Amino acid sequence: MTRFTEGYKGEKFDLIIIGGGITGAAIAYDAASRGLSVALIEKKDFGGATSAATSKLIHGGLRYLATMEFGLVRESLRERKTLENIAPNLVYPIPFMITTNRTKLTNTKWVIKTGMILYDILSFDKAFTWDKSKRMPLHTTYSKERVLELEPNVKRKGLTGASVYYDCISIFPERLTLAFIKSAIQYGAKVANYAEVVEFIYADKNRIAGVRVLDKITNRKLEVLGEVTLNCSGPWADIILGLAKKEVDGEHLRRSEGIHVITRKLVNDHTVGSITPEGRHFFLIPWRGHSLIGTTDKEYVGRPDDYRVTAQSIQELLDEVNASFGNGSLSFKDIRYAYGGLRPLVEDQTKDVYESSRKYEIYDNKRDGLDGLITIEGGKYTTSRNLAEHALKLIARKLKKRFPRTITDKTYLYGSEIPDINEFFERIVKENPDFDRKTVEYLGKSYGLEYSRVLEIARSNKALARPVNDDGEILAQVVYAARHELAKTLNDILFRRTGIGTLGHPGEELLRTVAQTAAKELGWSGGRIREELAKAARALEVPRPVKGIGAAAKKAKTGRIKKVHGKKSRR
């Protein structure tokens, strides 16, 4: 992988994409695979914002049945199967346990069972996966006794049993986004992270002809020209529009905050779903020997660049968990890591952002006097590939061209060309007896067919072959990230190329070792190493609890979310 901005010669592209999250990555891949010349520009790192702030689920959206969004559920279930097919090393079925009780009408056994039956009907094609190990059974019902046998920490009060069904987990969403980026590059797309759009270029008063970009690595400014520019900047979409047309400055997206925490192990093999007293869902997900808990939905008012996870938001999530799961003792001391992000929402008619749709909107800004610009808002990770298909229909009309049909639903992502995932793991373990099975399997899952290139680096230097955590990760991944995956900062490596930082602080000694290993590849000075370590420490720090914020404070806030003033424009 190379950053095209460092050697850009002024070529004109069919399509310029602003934003390197899953939406921009999926569109770049679809467009490039159909023969378009594509430039993708990301102001920070690929998949580093909303696309990283997920529950790591690839799911149909069971809760959307309650809002009668059957089309969205069906689309999500179809795309769930597609991602199982095209990214078999990164997407896996996982059982979900939805507990039932007598305390809330919408969570009784028969209400949940009705939803399960409908979910099964809408996922009628879930058995038609390329790899038979990815096929999922119909839902089943467990007794109270069976629930407590399998998941002893489930709240016992009022428990009547559970329904168990299957959805999917993406073991590393950041690397799944990167796989889309690599697939786009394979078909000729040009990409650059740490390249910020600072201004739009006009062919005339009302036509966008490209963007002016600041390369943050070289500090070079350049003009990138294109026939169509796509605004895929998620929570920053209105800010990008403000660059294009100053009158847009006063119009704002509605943004929802979603946070997650990583804790000690609370559930065994099932993702356990619970419903809060206010009727919201949250999940406790088994992940890397720990539990991932989330997500929240709370309106965020402010600049997206200023967003940070707060102790108050964490406490509110803990209060919800304690009210609905376990013995009520979960606290800050159990949290190893906390992360969050903002989601752009399409509509603002609902009282609470939890009720807002996860539909997406593809909008031609020609209606606002900005011909050549398209803005995409909303959506969810699972449906991003299909969103790209729909976006290409509008792009085709803008370019006045006919494209061949998409191949993205029929072709493995780059590095994921693995027809039988179980056979793949057994084979690579046998072929690499000089490495621990944990290491080989972890690399096979995270890198797919690229795993062998990581092992080559490890074999060249024994110090790089030493496992650094219980998953079997090795320092050779740090070198690979710097040499071949455009990692430019320590946080890129810790959180988006490896999982060294995603379970919380790995320890000062290991953190320094990772930084020094990266420094040799990226030419960092001693001062730069200290700067990177300081940034990593801030990213890894869990906000401390604030006195007075707890159940009482949460109760006072529940249902009192301040809405963004003004009517959302149809941009």
The two structure tokens encoding residue 25:
């990555």
- Nearest CA-CA partner of 514 in 492, 538, 485: 492
Q: What angle do CA 534, 537, 542 make, to 5 degrees?
A: 145
Residue 331: how many CB atoms within 10 A of its CB? 13
Burial class (CB in 10 A: 0-12, 13-18, 19+), 523: exposed
* Better pLDDT: 103 or 371: 371
Q: Tell me how long the chain is.
A: 571
- Nearest CA-CA partner of 241 in 208, 216, 274: 208
**What's the chain's average pLDDT?**
91
Peptide bond into 67 cis (omega under 30): no
Is residue 64 over pLDDT 90?
no
The two structure tokens encoding residue 315:
């406490």
C-alpha span between 146 and 302 (Å, rounded)? 46
Instruction: Decide if 332 contacts 545 (C-beta within 8 A).
Output: yes
* Beta-sheet pairing, 12-18 with 220-231: parallel
Terminal C-alpha separation, the chain: 34
DSSP secondary-structure letter at 561? P
The two structure tokens encoding residue 509:
């000694």
> Residue ranges per domain, the chain?
8-50+174-253+358-399, 83-171+255-355, 421-540
Residue 60: how many CB atoms within 10 A of its CB? 27
The two structure tokens encoding residue 238:
């209105």
Rg, C-alpha atoms of the chain? 23
- Nearest CA-CA partner of 395 in 200, 198, 232: 232
C-alpha span between 337 and 539 (Å, rounded)? 9
C-alpha span between 501 and 74 (Å, rounded)? 35
DSSP 252-316: --EEEEEEEEEES---SSSEEEEE-TTS-EEEEEEETTEEEEE---EEE-S-GGG----HHHHHH
- What φ, ψ does residue 404 adopt, rounded to 5°? -65, 160
Could you tell me the CA-to-CA distances from 356 to 67, 255, 345 in Å, in that order?
A: 9, 11, 7
Q: What is the pLDDT of residue 278?
A: 74
Q: Which residues contact 275 (CB under 8 A, 6 or more apart)?
A: 104, 106, 107, 281, 324
C-alpha span between 122 and 116 (Å, rounded)? 10
Q: What is the pLDDT of residue 550?
A: 53
State the fold for domain 421-540: Helicase, Ruva Protein; domain 3 (1.10.8)
Q: How does residue 400 score in pLDDT terms, banded at 50, 70 and 90?
A: very high
- Nearest CA-CA partner of 93 in 101, 102, 81: 81
Q: What is the pLDDT of residue 10?
A: 93
Q: What is the pLDDT of residue 434?
A: 96
Q: Which residues contact 403 (CB under 8 A, 6 or more apart)?
A: 34, 35, 36, 392, 396
> Would 8-50+174-253+358-399 and 421-540 be classified into the same CATH topology?
no
Is residue 552 over pLDDT 90?
no
* Better pLDDT: 497 or 350: 497
Work out whether the CA dihedral 501, 324, 91, 49 comes out positive or negative.
negative
Percent of the chain past pLDDT 90, that is, above it, reads 81
Instruction: Decide if 472 contacts 441 (C-beta within 8 A).
Output: yes
Q: Is 61 left (phi over 0), alpha (psi -120 to 50) or beta?
A: left
C-alpha span between 295 and 427 (Å, rounded)? 37
The pLDDT tens digits of the residues spanning 166-208 come to 999 999 999 999 999 999 999 999 999 999 999 999 998 889 9
State the fold for domain 8-50+174-253+358-399: FAD/NAD(P)-binding domain (3.50.50)
Exposure letters 441-480 (e unless 16+ CB within 10 A, then b) = bbbbbbbbbbbeebbebbeeeeebbeebbebbbbbbbbbb
The pLDDT tens digits of the residues spanning 418-435 come to 999 999 999 999 999 999
- Nearest CA-CA partner of 225 in 190, 249, 174: 190
Is residue 490 over pLDDT 50?
yes
Is residue 354 over pLDDT 60?
no
Q: What share of the chain is helix, strand, coil (3-state, %, to 5)?
A: 40, 25, 35
Q: What is the pLDDT of residue 247?
A: 55
Q: Give CATH superfamily name and number for 83-171+255-355.
A: D-Amino Acid Oxidase, subunit A, domain 2 (3.30.9.10)
Helix residue ranges, H only, 308-353: 311-324
Q: Which helix (H) or strand (E) holds 106?
A: none
The pLDDT tens digits of the residues spanning 111-169 come to 888 999 999 999 999 999 999 999 999 999 999 999 999 999 999 988 999 999 999 99
The pLDDT tens digits of the residues spanning 249-280 come to 445 688 999 999 999 999 999 999 987 777 77
Could you tell me the CA-to-CA distances from 486 to 149, 193, 370, 483, 537 in Å, in that order?
A: 46, 8, 33, 7, 22
Partners of 163 in the beta sheet?
A: 98, 141
Is residue 455 over pLDDT 60?
yes
Could you tell me the CA-to-CA distances from 184 to 28, 55, 194, 465 in Å, in that order?
A: 6, 25, 18, 30
Range with lowest mean pLDDT among 226-230, 470-474, 508-512, 546-550: 546-550
The pLDDT tens digits of the residues spanning 80-101 come to 999 999 999 999 999 999 998 8
Instruction: Decide if 262 contacts 337 (C-beta within 8 A).
Output: yes
Is residue 385 over pLDDT 70?
yes
Helix residue ranges, H only, 421-507: 421-431, 437-447, 451-460, 476-484, 490-491
C-alpha span between 463 and 476 (Å, rounded)? 9
Average pLDDT rounded to a whole number, residues 384-404: 96
Q: Which amino acid is at 398?
A: K
Instruction: Decide if 181 contacts 173 (C-beta within 8 A).
Output: no
Instruction: Decide if 139 contacts 163 (C-beta within 8 A).
Output: yes
DSSP secondary-structure letter at 545? P
Average pLDDT rounded to a whole number, residues 359-379: 90
Work out whether the CA dihedral 118, 276, 55, 437 comes out positive or negative.
negative
